Structure 1
Amino acid sequence: MTNPSANQAPGARPNTAAGPGKAAAPAKKWDKERVLLAVAGPVIALVVALVLTGVVLIASGKNPVEPFQLMSEQIGYSDQQVLIINQAGVYYLAALAVAVGFRMNLFNIGVDGQYRLAAAVTAIVGFHLALPSVLQIPVLIVVAMLTGAIWAGIAGLLKVTRGVSEVVATIMLNSIATSLIVWLCLTDNFGVPVGNNQTTGVMDKAGWFPGIGMGAAGEIYGFVFVAVAAGVVYWLVLNRTRFGFDLRASGASESAAAASGVSAKRMALTAMLISGAVAGLAGLPILLGDTHTYSQSFPSGLGFTGITIALLGRNNPAGIAVSALLIAFLDKASSVLDYNGYEKEIATIMQGLIVIAVVVAYEQVRLWGLRRQQRRVGLELAAAAAAVPSSDEPQKEAAAR
């Protein structure tokens, strides 16, 4: 008889994991069901949003299909492609800031105020500071991140020290940020009149972030690649570091995290600081790559759009990227509707319906997955029970002998 350990290296343990007479267990296969459940949520949400938008168009006496055809045609134009990519980069950073909070079960609604205040302060620093580009741009990025982190940290401190809901705190801080920006930039404090507009003045050219020229189509913001790098860092930190594990564990169960020695309060404050720092970057693609100044016309509302994108992308960097491209497409391609007898607010209606549909679809998918998991466990337990001999079988065998 062959020795089962004959082919093993000296001193190695024999492989008994598979049991006598059985082959070694195969490696864990790709979980197709888990992937399908992950994709089902956003797909269902988009389909429902499309159907409901069509119902709204029919109710208003409009063609329910033509608006989507007109918008889809815009993808073929290079100038629209540049606009969509640039807008998606901005949305991506805002959504990442929201997603960091979501991972800790924190609802950072203050991303809008954080990125606007960070952009305003960065514009002021960029106007009064003149360093070589290799130093100027990093300094401006650090200023933006610090401003966003400090503003979000106020809400984090209120939560961990006084138990104030981050939702209430960040909403109030958004309003305060608006007033603070007006006081800083749009008055004589740091404001610089440019024509009929009050701005922070044009920043020193050393702080302009270089982009990629696309000829007549325009220029892709160079900061788009910073957004991509931020997504990679986000994934690595959350999934490949101890800090990321502690953050996700604290968000899943504070009591379990505390039992393992993780301070939920410290993680909540840290998550808010990181969320604010990422939010501070959201305005830089526009500030450093386009306007080079902060004024009343600087885009607002990006933080609230980021909530939609983070929900649709399920806080996954790849999912957020696809969602950012989708929402950017709806924003930029909807301009063609005005010239064809349709209101461009159709895209806004669709975005709102996506938010509602996402919440409902994800909950339904979660229940489907839970039921399937319970059914699978039940079948495995039944199979295991059938394989174990009953207690009286040994007695029957002894009597037969």
Structure 2
Amino acid sequence: MKKFDSERLTLAAAGPVLAISVAVLLTSMVLLVTGNNPVEPYVLMIEYAGNIDIQVLIVNQATTYYIAALAVAVGFRMNLFNIGVDGQYRLAAMIAAVVGASVTLPSVLHVLLIMVVAALVGAFWAGIAGILKTSRGVSEVVSTIMLNAIATSVIAYLILPAQLGEAVGNNLTTGQIPESGWFPNFETEGGKIYGFIVIAALLGIAYWVVLNRTRFGFDLRATGASQSAAAASGVDAKRMVLTSMLISGAIAGLAGMPVLLGSSHTYSLDFPAGIGFTGITIALLGRNHPVGIAFGALLIAFLDKASATLDFNGYEKEIATIMQGLIVIAVVVSYEAVRRYGLRRQQQRVGEELAAAAAGNGENTKEASA
């Protein structure tokens, strides 16, 4: 049994390790073909990441990535592709910022209100795609892409001074959230680490417990594996699809909270975008497991922040972007290769067990006849 568990763990780790190795190899080949040193950029990034202030930036960026990836992973476990996390989290952050700036409450209640509003807005926006899928059969891929574009337009309209926004120089914001609505951060030598990292960790634990230790999680995974089989066992597949989209959207709504409550305290035109798409990469890399997602978030955050040093050393920082793209491609290929290898190993193991059982029966037959 221990040998079997060890083999499963090895196969689970083989996919991401192989994907990262292939991405590094291919990126090095690109550097070599373009006449650059294929090793030095990695050394420069690692050395740059050794600075404690850069490490703080990496951890903060990874916190946001982690929550976005969890939102994507919920959909993946249900066999749903929620591409709309980016629109869900930006719209949620903006509405939450407006609400947070317009009220004054005791600190705990103020922060809780902002978080609840963000989760509800994210769930509402994802729920539209869920309703379209369950009632009209519209693919969530198509609907969430369209909802991303609509969210961008809605935000652009609402942030106008004539609506909910305020003009601050050349920027537009939703107004400053009072200090009572700020989430406390951790002070370190290298700067402030978002206190929301604690909430992110709790979300990861809740994600694992719900999916692996509850009846709801079993029904969700069963429906994702086969809706017809789940329906035969009494699970309402349509209800599970809608519920999964609502949960995914609610988590996505919280993805903007580390920045909103930890540093910016307002939503403006320069609020981070593209987090949702990065979350897809991280969820794939982490194989939808909360621990794997954490490592994936740190890796992508490292590439984002450490690549800044490349510009100052004669290399294009887009090298990190190339690597991220190659990781996505390599993840799909490597996971399929590992899956096929695992299937062959399982078939081989079953064959060995059957052969051993047949040999044992033969020995027993001989002893009985003797």
TM-score by length of 1: 0.90
- What residue is the counterpart of 1:221 in the other structure? 194
What secondary structure sits across from 2:117 in the alignment? helix
Q: Does 1:236 align with 2:205?
A: no
Name 2:356's counterpart in structure 1: 383
Cα deviations by residue, 1:170-215 (Å, 9 ceiling, x for unpaired): 0000000000001111341001111221111111221111101124
Matched, 1:34 2:8: yes
- Give, in whole Å, the separation in 2 of the partners of 1:127 and 1:385: 74
> In the alignment, which of 325, 348, 353 is matched to residue 321 of structure 2?
348
d(CA) in 2 for partners of 1:218, 1:391? 72
Q: Which residues in structure 2 correspond to 1:42-191 (within 5 Å)?
A: 42-191=16-165
Deviations 1:343-391 (A, max 9, x none): 0000000000000000000000000000010011111112222222499
**1:368: which partner in 2?**
341
Distance across 1 between alignment mates of 2:307 and 2:37: 15
The CA distance in 2 between the partners of 1:28 and 1:242, in whole Å, is: 27
- The CA deviation string for residues 326-357 of structure 1, in whole angstroms up to 9 with x for no partner, is 00000000000000000000000000000000
- Alignment of structure 1 residues 281-292 onto 2, 5 Å: 281-292=254-265
Instruction: Output the amino acid matched with 1:306.
Output: G
The Cα of 1:311 is off from its aligned counterpart by 0.2
Q: Give CA-to-partner distance per residue, 1:16-75, whole Å, 9 cap, x none.
A: xxxxxxxxxxx7666111011001000100100000000111111111111000000022
Structure with the higher helix share, 1 or 2: 2
Q: Distance in 2 between matches of 1:286 and 1:34?
A: 37
Following superposition, the deviation at residue 242 of structure 1 comes to 0.9
In structure 1, the residue matched to 2:179 is: 205
- SS in structure 2 at match of 1:190: coil
Question: Residues of 1 paired with 2:99 and 2:249: CA distance?
Answer: 19
CA shift for structure 1 position 76: 1.6
Query: How many Å apart are 1:154 and its aligned residue?
Result: 0.2
Structure of higher CA gyration radius: 1
Letter in 1 for 2:118: A
Question: 1:186, 1:200 within 8 Å by CA — same for their partners in 2?
Answer: no
1:94 Cα shift?
0.3
Quick one: distance in 2 between partners of 1:316 and 1:198? 38
Aligned letter for 2:353?
Answer: E
Q: Retained in 1: the 8 A contact 2:123–2:247?
A: yes
Q: Distance in 2 between matches of 1:265 and 1:116?
A: 27
For the pair 1:260 / 2:207, whether they are aligned, the reply is no
Tell me the equivalent position of 1:299: 272
Q: Does structure 2 conserve the Cα–Cα contact (< 8 Å) formed by 1:111 and 1:279?
A: yes
Give the structure 1 partner of residue 308 of structure 2.
335
Structure 2: 5+ residue stretches without partners = none
1:279 equivalent in alignment to 2:252: yes
Q: Retained in 1: the 8 A contact 2:65–2:278?
A: yes
CA distance in 1, matches of 2:81, 2:50: 37
Contact 1:193 1:201 (C-alpha < 8 Å) held by counterparts: no
Partner AA of 1:375 in structure 2: Q
2:240 aligns to what SS in structure 1? helix
Counterpart amino acid of residue 206 in structure 1: S
Structure 1 residue 319 corresponds to structure 2 residue 292? yes
Q: Distance in 1 between matches of 2:365 and 2:222?
A: 46
Q: Specify whether residues 391 and 297 from structure 1 end up closer, same or farther in structure 2 by C-alpha distance, changes over 3 A only.
A: closer
Following TM superposition, the consecutive aligned residue runs of length 4 or more in structure 1 with deviations greater than 3 angstroms are: 27-30, 389-394
Give the SS at the match of 1:219.
strand
Runs of 5+ unmatched residues, structure 1? 1-26
Please name the residue that 1:5 is paired with. Answer: none
Which secondary structure state, in structure 2, belongs to the residue aligned with residue 297 of structure 1? coil
Alpha-carbon distance in 1 for matches of 2:228, 2:48: 51
TM-score by length of 2: 0.97
CA distance in 1, matches of 2:198, 2:342: 36
- Separation in 2 of the partners of 1:142 and 1:158? 24
Residue identity matched to 1:299 = P
Tell me how far apart the structure 2 counterparts of residues 153 and 46 of structure 1 sit (CA, whole Å). 34
**Matched residues in 1 for 2:63 and 2:271: separation?**
16
Contact preservation (8 Å) 2:161, 2:167: no
The structure-2 alpha-carbon separation of the partners of 1:392 and 1:306, relative to structure 1 and needing over 3 Å to count, comes to: closer
Identical counterparts, % of pairs = 68
Are 1:309 and 1:323, in contact at CA under 8 Å, matched by a contact in 2?
yes
Q: In the alignment, what sits opposite 1:192? A: 166
The secondary structure found in structure 1 opposite 2:167 is: strand
